[in-house]
């Protein structure tokens, strides 16, 4: 679990989170591959500058990943064997991030690019351009996972929100990296199995929450990444926006949401932690409700980064407490 702190000529590796802006990614990735551990650190103005743990990573491979969830799944698989970089900067929404036209040349400085199909057009086009080229291995983490037509969109790609289906992606990542780095394939397989056990425990915790819930409806005042919860856990999720952060709610959509809240006597409106909560606050004001945060594991905010939060923490520290309140979950007997 490493933090790549980008400087003008090298990249410093510590044990915390790694998120790099696309504008500096080429420098950072090149540093991961070719930095001299004895070279003076030219990085200034960052919290990691004086980090006493400043270990230099000597891993052979650098992996570029498409957004927060994929980054965390990958780092759980590789452990300390590879350097894993999230292409989306801290505070940016993974679904809405636009890295600009230079992203392909930036990623070419990595050894591996791991992405999800249909999550973002720039990832699909980058993967297509890199396929068949020398030097960069392309891994589709969602390979073999069948998307379904949800109430929010056809071919809903947000499979990682289901901890059970997410295990398939973990195995896909482990198998692909094992082929790329066969000397450590057994370790990747073992790491994947261990993390999948944690995902299974997370699923069981989710089931327990739903079993004790007095409601099954959720209203989300930002884009809807949560329909896989309906498919797995039977929750009904309503959003006036749909699955894209770029969509805008119409007055008719908002009125329909307000009627839904009144019909089901809902007291909370949820909002994606990576998006503005203006609409959620507006709906809450009109319905005498409160707002609560929810995470689709697409955005790493600075305060989460400082605590090295990954997939499990986004669920246990954000999603589960919110679900317990919004679904009116009873205490365990």
Integer Cα distance of 125 and 312 in angstroms? 30
pLDDT at residue number 180? 96
pLDDT at 7 over 50: no
Q: Please, how many CA atoms are within 13 Å of residue 208, restricted to the half-sphere of its CB?
A: 11
The percent of residues in the chain predicted with pLDDT above 70, rounded, is: 78
Integer Cα distance of 306 and 288 in angstroms? 34
Q: What is the pLDDT of residues 240-286, one digit of tens each?
A: 876 455 566 788 889 999 999 999 999 999 999 999 999 999 999 99
Q: Where are the alpha helices (DSSP H) in 41-149?
A: 68-78, 103-107, 121-130
pLDDT at 9 over 80: no
Q: What is the pLDDT of residues 10-66, one digit of tens each?
A: 222 222 233 333 334 443 454 444 334 344 443 333 343 323 233 334 458 999 999
Mean pLDDT, the chain, integer: 82
Integer Cα distance of 63 and 86 in angstroms? 9
The mean pLDDT value for 309-318 works out to: 99
Looking at per-residue pLDDT, the higher value among 111 and 51 belongs to 111
E-strand ranges in 125-164 read 137-140
Structural domains of the chain in order of their starting residue, each with its CATH number:
3-204 (3.40.50.1980), 212-326 (3.40.50.1980)
Q: What are the φ/ψ torsions at residue 208 (nearest 5 degrees)? A: -60, -40
Q: What is the pLDDT of residues 160-184, one digit of tens each?
A: 999 999 999 999 999 999 999 999 9
By C-alpha distance, which of 110, 231, 219 is closest to 160? 231
């Amino acid at each position: 679990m490493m933090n790549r702190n980008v400087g003008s000529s090298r990249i410093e590796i510590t044990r915390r989170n790694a998120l790099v802006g696309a504008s500096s990614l080429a420098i950072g990735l090149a540093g991961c591959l070719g930095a001299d551990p004895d070279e003076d650190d030219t990085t200034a103005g960052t919290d990691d500058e004086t980090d006493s743990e400043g270990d230099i990573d000597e891993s052979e491979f650098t992996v570029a990943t498409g957004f927060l969830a994929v980054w965390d799944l990958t780092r759980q698989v590789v452990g300390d064997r590879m350097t894993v970089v999230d292409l989306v900067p801290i505070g940016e929404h993974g679904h809405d991030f636009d890295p600009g036209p230079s992203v392909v040349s930036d990623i070419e400085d990595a050894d591996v690019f791991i992405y999800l199909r249909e999550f973002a057009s720039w990832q699909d086009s980058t993967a297509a351009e890199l396929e068949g080229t020398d030097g960069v291995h392309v891994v589709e983490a969602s390979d073999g996972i069948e998307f379904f037509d949800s109430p929010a969109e056809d071919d809903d790609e947000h499979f990682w929100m289901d901890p059970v289906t997410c295990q398939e992606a973990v195995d896909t990542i482990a198998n692909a990296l094992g082929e790329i780095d066969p000397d450590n394939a057994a370790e990747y397989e073992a790491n994947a199995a261990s993390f999948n056990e944690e995902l299974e425990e997370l699923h069981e915790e989710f089931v327990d929450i739903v079993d004790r819930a007095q409601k099954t409806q959720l209203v989300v005042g930002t884009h809807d990444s949560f329909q896989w919860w309906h498919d797995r856990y039977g929750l009904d999720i309503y959003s006036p926006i749909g699955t894209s952060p770029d969509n805008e709610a119409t007055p008719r959509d908002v009125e329909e949401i307000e009627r839904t809240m009144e019909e089901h006597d809902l007291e909370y409106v949820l909002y994606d932690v990576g998006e503005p909560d203006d609409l959620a606050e507006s709906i809450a004001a009109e319905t005498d409700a409160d707002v609560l945060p929810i995470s689709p594991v697409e955005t790493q905010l600075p305060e989460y980064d400082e605590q090295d939060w990954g997939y499990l923490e986004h669920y246990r520290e954000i999603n589960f407490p919110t679900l317990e309140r919004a679904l009116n979950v009873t205490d365990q007997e």
